A = this chain, B = another copy of it.
Amino acid sequence: MRALGLVVEYNPFHNGHLHHLTQAKQQTGADVVVAVMSGTFLQRGEPALLSRWYRAEMALAAGADLVVELPYAYSVQTAERFAEGAVTILAALRCSVLNFGSEKGEIAPFYALAEFMNDHQVAFNHHVKQFLKDGVSYPKASAQAFSMLSGHEKLLPLDQPNNILGYHYVKAIQRLGISMEATTTLRIQAGYHDKEFAGPIASATAIRKALLSGENIETAVPAHTARLIQMYKRRYRLLHTWEHYFPFLQHKVLTTPLAELAKTAECSEGLEHRLRDSLFSASSFQGWLSATKSKRYTQTRLQRLFAHLLTGTTAEENAAIQQSGPAYIRLLGMSETGKTYIRENKKTFSLPIVTRQGELRRYGQAGEQELRISQCYWLPLPPQALKQEVTREFQQKPINWEKRS
């Protein structure tokens, strides 16, 4: 069975994702679609609107065969680390081909870019360092450093999130020495940051915005997604946003000694003072974010820091988990095909599959981190519901998806 790997967040799953999944499967002639998905907190440092279980079901309903979780130590990270974790997990599951969406739908430029960067790594790093010294953010420094290199004009621009991710998938495959083919499919959706909302294809950003203001999003998502979102709201009475976690962040920053705050992942250069000083300057998370944002500290960087603060994740913990690489594969859901694929290939997987939270105890720091962060995700629920959900999730088995006609 030929397995196709996708790297996804599905926050939430929409028509653009459906198009990509279907096209990628067809284009690669795959028999089984494996999606490695950010769990509770996402690459840009935001809590997922819905739990990983609901988002996994959306993916299964749309044709994914296996949905596995990208661990927190890889998901709430720069594109490079994110790609490294995702590719490692797809490789462990013996995916022979990876596909991602791109503006042009051509893979050659990504390989060309990777080759170009291999040749110019020293100069590139030098330029990045210089720009960082001037106090700009890392993404900006990278983009500027890139534009300084001679010959970059013919290559992909590195200031678009999707290009950056695609480039890092290719790089990760090369660096890890994995025999996996990278492919790309033409995106038909709007730009990532596009906030317009019209017709069947809208960006995830536009859909989230519409969802949170109570607008109807049914034109932009598969029926199953719409149904699951309704169910989620009825069941938990919220869609998770940073505002729900804001009081916990305030409490954390108020009552944790500065020296401890400074140990938080992404909390460098005295950012803990900035957080403490601005603590009560805002009456909402978004207000606080605006108050702490600067030329050097982008919204994404700060959101990642806030995720680490909320979850008590230290730089040391993340480094230890990253150093040993993903230790297991957390299976969230599977179709009949996915189940068959696991049964037939399990022995060749290079990492063990974890199907229940109880098993996490075997995996030291990585397992502890996952358990803690899963529980953090539910903190906005009222105490009774929190207890129920934490208890329920502890026993939750992967979703066993049987395709309905």
Take A248-B248, A280-B390 as given contacts and tell me if A255 and B376 are in contact as well, using a CB distance cutoff of 8 Å. Answer: yes
Cross-interface CB contact of A376 among B251, B312, B375, cutoff 8 Å: B251
A283 at interface, CB cutoff 8 A: yes
Residues 378-395 of A, flagged 1 when their CB comes within 8 A of B and 0 if not, give: 010001101110110000
Contact residues, A225-274 vs B (CB, 8 A): 243, 246-248, 250-252, 254-257, 260
Contact with B along A184-201 (1 / 0, CB 8 A): 000000000000000000
Q: Most B CB atoms within 10 A — which of A246, A257, A281? A: A257
Chain B neighbourhood of A372, CB < 8 A: 254-255
On whether the beta carbons of A375 and B280 are closer than 8 Å, the reply is: yes
Verify if A172 is at the interface (C-beta below 8 Å from B).
no
Can you list, as one digit per residue, whether each of A309-348 has a CB less than 8 Å from chain B (1) or not (0)?
0111010000000000000000000000000000000000
User: Once the chains are docked, how many angstroms separate the CA of A255 from the CA of B282?
Assistant: 24
Of the residues B256, B282, B386, contact of A283 by C-beta under 8 Å? B386
Number of interface residues of A (CB under 8 A): 32
In the complex where A260-B260, A383-B283, A387-B280 touch, is A252 in contact with B250 (Cβ < 8 A)? Answer: no
| A284 contacts partner chain B, Cβ-Cβ < 8 Å | yes
Chain B residue at minimal CB-CB distance from A260? B260
Nearest B-chain residue to A248, judged by Cβ: B251
Q: Report the bound CA distance from A314 to B257 in whole Å.
A: 10
CA separation between A376 and B391, bound complex, in Å? Answer: 29
* Cβ–Cβ contact A312 & B254, under 8 A: yes
A310 closest partner in B (C-beta): B255
How far, in whole Å, are A280 and B379 apart by their CA atoms in the complex? 11
Q: Within the assembled complex, what's the spacing in Å between the Cα atoms of A252 and B251?
A: 9
**Distance A307 CA – B281 CA, assembled complex (angstroms):** 25
CB-CB under 8 A from A282, the residues of chain B are 387
- 9 smallest CB-CB distances across A and B, nearest first, come from A255-B312, A283-B387, A283-B384, A280-B390, A283-B383, A248-B251, A280-B387, A251-B379, A284-B383
